[in-house]
């Protein structure tokens, strides 16, 4: 019977964490960056060393296939995986767990000569964290990447996707060629840390994801008037930063009051221009995101926040500009996959619980083209997107073992 090799699993997680490792712990490994490209080369070596076929598609997605090295509608595959890119000052498990555990499972199946009926492939999707555009690699693979947006996709610091990909040896314009043929994926299941505290607080070792939140991101820019910070009377100022500050506070209250308890919002990026202390800010720019498992609530909140920006701008004598950056719809995970995960957990004597994912994932793109689902393991203290993100070694092994059983059942 195929089984996970714990030392190899933990060894690869530790090895991957060295790419972009920070002195005080944690990892910064943005997609297409030198540490990310070194990690890609390492992963391709590990896949080949595991006796699998290794390849990269035009969107930079990495694949490891058991007895297969391409996608076709004639041979639908069972696909697992996640991402090896990280947020700045992130942890060593977000994404990495699903790639390394997926590799471990496919390799264990190969070594056990279990030869399942359906081929198995493990994936590492490009730029899941969306430094240049959310869920980039899995969007390209699933055919919902808007190719017309590629030339103007850029990071918050202004670096263009086209330039970052070129530096890593990729032609961004070819990314849409990564689209998989219809019917190429029979089932997709991704192992991921919960990145929240629900499983740990409930003492449940395995989470069965039933739905994944929708995420909207917009660039909200307030155009005021740069002026001398000393000589301009307060009543005459058209201060773009104060408009942005009022927007950030009131948008948060609006989402909390009108979105219900499962809607959340965040402003994680703020720029003030010209950005020196003796000039009244002429321009202030925010990246504002909202999330909710209900599509209509998300739509309503999006519209309400745009109206709020205009109301504040009019009141303060500045101009507001709201430009959508990305919108990922909430999805339901396939009942078939949820059941397969529950059955695998039950066979291992592990309690499981269904829950929605409050984080976005590549699985919500795969859900558009295949039966897709996710397995969660508890995050210590619910910590994630921070350097002290962690899960117990035993929890990691349990997650990988449930993934292995699930893949075998789906590929049978
Ligand atoms: O932001 C998210 O939800 C995910 O971690 N990319
Ligand atoms: Mn992730
Ligand atoms: Mn993440």
Q: Would you say the C-alpha torsion 142, 146, 152, 155 has a positive or negative sign? A: negative
Domain that holds residue 281: 214-328
**Is the CB of 196 inside a 6 Å radius of any atom of ligand 1?**
no
Rounded (10°) CA dihedral 226, 324, 159, 92: 120
The pLDDT value recorded for residue 1 is 87
The pLDDT value recorded for residue 372 is 98
Q: Which of 29, 84, 87, 288 for mutating ligand 1's site (highest number of atoms within 8 Å of CB)?
A: 87
The pLDDT value recorded for residue 115 is 79
CATH number for position 273: 3.30.70.360
Among 328, 355, 373, which residue terminates a domain?
A: 328
- Residue-by-residue pLDDT tens, the chain, 412 positions: 899 999 999 999 999 999 999 999 999 999 999 999 999 999 999 999 999 999 999 999 999 999 899 999 999 999 999 999 999 999 999 999 999 999 999 999 999 998 799 999 999 999 999 999 999 999 999 999 999 999 999 999 999 999 999 999 999 999 999 999 999 999 999 999 999 999 999 999 999 999 999 999 999 999 999 999 999 999 999 999 999 999 999 999 999 999 999 999 999 999 999 999 999 999 999 999 999 999 999 999 999 999 999 999 999 999 999 999 999 999 999 999 999 999 999 999 999 999 999 999 999 999 999 999 999 999 999 999 999 999 999 999 999 999 999 999 999 9
Q: Are residues 160 and 26 in the same domain?
A: yes
Q: Name the 3-class secondary structure at 283.
A: strand
Query: Within a domain: residue 43?
Result: yes
Q: Are residues 228 and 171 in the same domain?
A: no
**Is the CB of 360 inside a 6 Å radius of any atom of ligand 1?**
yes
Q: Name the β-bridge partners of 79.
A: 121, 188
Question: How do 214-223 and 319-328 pair as beta strands?
Answer: antiparallel
Q: Find, among 191, 81, 76, 156, the residue nearest to 126 by Cα.
A: 81
Please give the tally of structural domains in the chain. Answer: 2
Q: CB 188: neighbour CB atoms within 10 A?
A: 29
**Is the CB of 363 inside a 6 Å radius of any atom of ligand 1?**
no
Q: Are residues 12 and 151 in the same domain?
A: yes
Q: Are residues 162 and 294 in the same domain?
A: no
Among 267, 296, 328, which residue terminates a domain?
A: 328
CB 79 within 8 A of CB 103: no
CATH number for position 114: 3.40.630.10
How buried is residue 169: exposed, middle or buried, by Cβ count under 10 Å (0-12/13-18/19+)? exposed
Alpha-carbon gap, residue 71 to 61, rounded angstroms: 13
**Is the CB of 359 inside a 6 Å radius of any atom of ligand 1?**
yes
What are 327's two structure tokens? 């919108």
Q: Are residues 363 and 228 in the same domain?
A: no
**Dist. CA 266 → ligand 2 center (Å):** 17
Phi, psi of 54 (to 5 degrees): -115, 135
Q: Are residues 52 and 199 in the same domain?
A: yes
Among 328, 354, 385, which residue terminates a domain?
A: 328
Q: Are residues 149 and 295 in the same domain?
A: no
Q: Which residues contact 233 (CB under 8 A, 6 or more apart)?
A: none
Q: Are residues 308 and 169 in the same domain?
A: no
Q: Find, among 312, 302, 298, 102, the residue nearest to 192 by Cα.
A: 102
- pTM for the full predicted model: 0.97
**Is the CB of 128 inside a 6 Å radius of any atom of ligand 1?**
yes
Q: How wide is the angle at C-alpha 219 spanned by C-alphas 216 and 220, nearest 5°?
A: 110
Atom of ligand 1 nearest to the CA of 215: 3
Query: Within a domain: residue 1?
Result: no
DSSP codes, 81-145: EE-----TTB-SSTTHHHHHHHHHHHHHHHHTT---SS-EEEEE-TTTT-SSSTTHHHHHHHT--
What are 73's two structure tokens? 């509608």
CB 43 within 8 A of CB 99: yes
**Dist. CA 192 → ligand 2 center (Å):** 7
The pLDDT value recorded for residue 65 is 98
Maximum alpha-carbon separation in the chain: 79
Alpha-carbon gap, residue 69 to 58, rounded angstroms: 14
Token pair 């070694």 in the structure block, residue: 393
């Amino acid at each position: 019977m195929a089984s996970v090799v714990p030392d190899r699993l933990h060894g690869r997680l530790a090895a991957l964490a060295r790419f972009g490792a920070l002195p005080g712990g944690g990892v910064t490994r943005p997609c297409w960056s030198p540490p990310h490209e070194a990690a890609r080369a390492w992963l391709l070596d590990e896949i080949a060393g595991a006796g699998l076929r290794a390849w990269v598609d035009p969107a930079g997605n990495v694949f490891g296939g058991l007895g297969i090295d391409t996608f076709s509608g004639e041979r639908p595959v069972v696909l697992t995986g996640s991402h090896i890119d990280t947020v700045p000052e992130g942890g060593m498990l977000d994404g990495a767990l699903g790639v390394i555990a997926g590799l471990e499972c496919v390799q264990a199946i190969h070594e056990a000569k279990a030869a399942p009926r359906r081929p198995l492939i493990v994936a590492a999707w490009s730029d899941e964290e969306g430094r240049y555009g959310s869920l980039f690699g899995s969007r390209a693979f699933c055919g919902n990447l808007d190719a017309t947006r590629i030339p103007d996709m850029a990071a918050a610091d202004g670096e263009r996707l086209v330039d970052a990909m070129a530096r890593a040896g990729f032609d961004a314009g070819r990314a849409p060629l990564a689209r998989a043929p219809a019917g190429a994926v029979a089932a997709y299941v991704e192992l991921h840390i919960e990145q929240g505290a629900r499983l740990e607080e409930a003492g449940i070792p395995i989470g069965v994801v039933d739905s994944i939140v929708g995420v909207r991101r917009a660039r909200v820019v307030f155009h005021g008037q740069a002026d001398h910070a000393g000589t301009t009377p307060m009543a005459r100022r058209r201060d773009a930063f104060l408009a942005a500050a009022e927007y950030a506070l009131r948008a948060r209250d609006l989402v909390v009051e009108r979105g219900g308890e499962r809607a959340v919002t965040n402003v994680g990026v703020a720029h003030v221009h010209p950005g020196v202390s003796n000039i009244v800010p002429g321009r202030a720019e925010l990246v504002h995101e909202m999330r909710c498992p209900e599509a209509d609530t998300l739509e309503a909140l999006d519209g309400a926040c745009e109206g709020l920006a205009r109301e504040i701008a009019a009141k303060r004598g500045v101009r507001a500009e709201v430009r959508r950056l990305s919108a990922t719809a909430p999805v339901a995970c396939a009942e078939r996959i949820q059941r397969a995960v529950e059955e695998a957990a039950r066979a291992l004597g592990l309690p499981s619980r269904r829950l929605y994912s409050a984080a976005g994932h590549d699985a919500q793109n795969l859900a558009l083209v295949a039966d897709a689902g996710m397995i969660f393991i508890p995050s210590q203290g619910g910590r994630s997107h921070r350097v002290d993100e962690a899960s117990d070694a035993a929890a990691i092994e349990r997650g990988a073992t449930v993934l292995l059983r699930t893949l075998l059942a789906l590929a049978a």
